[in-house]
Chains A and B, each alone.
Chain A
């Protein structure tokens, strides 16, 4: 260990004695911690109905509407088209899913996907099409109104936030999620 402390010169031994007083015994937390964790998890467990909604709302199962404009090159566009193809999930009462086009610049990537709460954070994600000649990847999703958190997955492993998203949040895991607000659209 002394070799690691050469920078301390004659204080190396004193440092070792100081650091030696630190207690290295394991610390056992009270059993109430486990009980509290499991109680909170049970309280958060989604109902069968909401799990079904999450499954139905996963955009990978929905046919994507086409022909929507890409504004200002690299940007997140909210395309407010109320039409919902048959067979797509039913949005909450009084509103409809909204077509959203996500684009991401990754000229050197061999594949890009997107994942988020709308895809149950599936690590495989929903693939983006591309790249176009300018290295732009894109996908069109049909999302229910509300806030959605998402990230792009580059080459299957590198999670990146969307630099063009209007805002981001810390995910508590040392990464940032991009935030997308899908406004509610009333069915016509």
Chain B
């Protein structure tokens, strides 16, 4: 999933990085255009807020530009950028710890782009509760669930981008599934 997606007549990520490092800063806009939406959904699930996701993506792209010379595998810029986004999400959440659970619940309840305006009230209520329960999970468990069930990554792909073993991720997912269910008693019986 994290292979670079490049149109046949478009420059590869590696080509763009080489030209940016050669002084053509404006070419970084190609990478911004290519990836700014790529991890937005992940960031939104991690933070529970579209505005915060946008801030995180912006900051991650600027950090990627600053550190571009440290991208060793330029063909896998996308995976490298994901790790930056992931770290930014975790740093952001750590800074936000002082907020109250009520505040988190409010954010989870107002995830507008995740709501389907056509859905009936009951379905919307289930979705709101599930998103709220996700926000209450420990960060690493929430991340594992989002990558697995929203982003659709395989365990080996998750292991690579999270620098964790497949067996460790299996355990993390198992705990996350149980925690999520425990937070939703009586929901979707």
Contact = CB atoms under 8 A, between A and B. Distances in A.
A53 interface: no
Interface residues of B, number: 59
Interface string B129-142: 01100100000000
7 contacts: A5-B177, A21-B130, A26-B41, A33-B36, A38-B28, A123-B72, A172-B63
B104 interface: no
Contact of A37 (B32, B114, B115, B126): B32
Contact of A29 (B54, B88, B127): B54
Query: Secondary structure at chain B's binding surface: helix, strand, loop or mixed?
Result: helix
Given A28-B40, A40-B62, A172-B67, A34 B32 contact: yes
A24 B23 CA distance: 38
Interface in A45-62: 45, 51
Contacts of A83: none
A68 interface: no
Contacts of A34: 29, 32-33, 36
A72 interface: no
A41 B27 CA distance: 11
B13 interface: no
9 smallest CB-CB distances across A and B, nearest first, come from A121-B69, A27-B40, A23-B114, A27-B41, A17-B188, A37-B61, A19-B149, A21-B127, A34-B32
B36 A173 contact: no
Interface in A7-43: 7-8, 11, 14-15, 17-19, 21-30, 33-34, 36-38, 40-42
A14 to B, nearest CB: 6
Interface in A121-156: 121-123
B38 to A, nearest CB: 8
Given A15-B181, A34-B36, A157 B57 contact: no
Contacts of B152: 24
B57 A33 contact: yes
B66 interface: yes
Nearest to B70: A121
Given A14-B188, A121-B67, A122-B69, A38 B32 contact: yes
A174 interface: yes
Contacts of B45: 22
Interface in B124-181: 126-127, 130-131, 134, 145, 149-150, 152, 163, 173-174, 177-178, 180-181
Given A21-B126, A37-B36, A172 B70 contact: no
